[in-house]
Amino acid sequence: IRYTYSVMGQEYTGDRVAFGAQNTNQGPAREVLSRYPLDKAVMVYYDTDHPGQAVLEQVSTSGWIQILIGVLLVFAGFYLAMR
């Protein structure tokens, strides 16, 4: 997916749907493409400090990975504290 958007008269091009890991499997990719048909106006969410960084969806696609890493770090901390 590639989209263009304008901030304060400056035009930008984006290709990121959401933050997190990018899924290249055909099933999920087709489902995302179906939400954004060609030439449809959509809402773009951009970083006000860095307008060139934008996404179409304000969700993280890797939330479970972040949780797993957090749990592993907690267990590692307990292990190291007990040694």
- Written as one string, the DSSP assignment of 13-63 is EE--SSBSPPP--HHHHHHHHHHS-TT-----EE-SS-TT-EES--SBTTH
Q: pLDDT tens, position by position, for the chain (83 residues)?
A: 899 999 999 999 999 888 765 666 667 778 888 888 888 899 999 999 999 999 998 876 556 777 788 889 998 988 889 88
Report pTM.
Answer: 0.61
Confidence at residue 21, expressed as pLDDT on a 0 to 100 scale = 54
| Cα→Cα distances 43→8, 25, 33, Å | 16, 25, 15
Identify whether the C-beta of residue 18 lies closer than 8 Å to the C-beta of residue 26.
Answer: no
